[in-house]
Amino acid sequence: MPFNQKPQKFNAKINAVTVGTGDKAVVIGGNSTFPFYTFDNPTENAPKIGVEITDMGLDDFAPGIRAYYEGCTTMAEIAKKAAAMEGGDFVVLNLDGGDPNGANKSTEELIAVVKEVAEAIDCPLVVEGCKNVEKDAELLPKVAEALQGRNIIVLSEKEENYKAIGAAAGLAYNQIVGAESADDINLAKQLNVVTTQLGVDAKKIVMNVGTATVGYGYEYVASTLDRVRAAALEQNDAMLQMPIITPVASEAWAVKEAVVSEEDFPEWGPREERGVEMEVSTAASVIAGGADAVILRHPKSVDTIARLVAALM
């Protein structure tokens, strides 16, 4: 008896958000099926890959990453090299140095770095804050102002600072707002609701619904991704139809498997290989779960995920 497949069609779709300007702009989201369900409907836009760099330079990166940027001495040179990485679609500048509990760089100093990077590249740019809600509330509106007209994603707006960041990025300077919540569909939806109530266009919002490396509470991420995508498509929930961007690199390269030395755990093998494996396995998992874009760091990881996405399309 022949098998007659019945495609599952939805009357809803994920918002298509254009990042950047001109010929190098990319579109995140825009699909009307579950991830890679091409047997139900063609995938309009494949998941995109961001290449992460940081204002703190390369000292804390793995040797293979530093080798890729060999010869780069300025942030502009690092940014150009990141933009040229095979498989990458956009550059992500992480402003780690702004953390008051770390380097505590001034907003003025960080804005100078942001401008240097933006002027060096013509591909789309994502600027991520320092993860301190008070400092980001001060810093990210200034980033949005400095890069007005570049159509960047500003990561991350949170419940504690959404008024400052959402109003500046999404309204005053017409950037894309990255809304970050912690592995809870209700928190993700609520942040989108209050952001749109500020007047921000729902199609100028992307979500980071939570991040964890595989093996480190990842089941909460998987569950959240599944529930968000199902609500967006099956229930046509407009407040959950924003594309999802997941910062993988900063999580994957901070876990034990990517940090401890080979001398301490010889049976685990080379440390850098472990880091790449953690980054790749996490990125593959979140893409399969519904992320429309991931942020990676190692050239091997970027290449592997790019080839995986191409094979599944």
pLDDT tens by residue, 297-311: 999 999 999 999 999
Q: How far apart are CA 183 and CA 301, in angstroms?
A: 24
Query: Are the C-beta atoms of residues 90 and 50 closer than 8 Å to each other?
Result: yes
* 45, 96, 176 from 146: Cα distances, Å: 29, 18, 14
Instruction: Determine phi and psi for 253, rounding to 5 degrees.
Output: -85, 5
Nearest to 63 by CA among 268, 253, 284, 283: 253
Using CB atoms within 10 A of its CB, is residue 184 exposed (0-12), middle (13-18) or buried (19+)? Answer: middle
pLDDT tens by residue, 52-86: 999 999 999 999 999 999 999 999 999 999 999 99
pLDDT at 1: 66
Instruction: Tell me the three state secondary structure of residue 27.
Output: strand
pLDDT, tens digit only, all 313 positions of the chain: 677 778 888 999 999 999 999 999 999 999 999 999 999 999 999 999 999 999 999 999 999 999 999 999 999 999 999 999 999 999 999 999 999 999 999 999 999 999 999 999 999 999 999 999 999 999 999 999 999 999 999 998 999 999 999 999 999 999 999 999 999 999 999 999 999 999 999 999 999 999 999 999 999 999 999 999 999 999 999 999 999 999 999 999 999 999 999 999 999 999 999 999 999 999 999 999 999 999 999 999 999 999 999 999 8
Instruction: Determine phi and psi for 176, rounding to 5 degrees.
Output: -100, 130
pLDDT at 3: 72
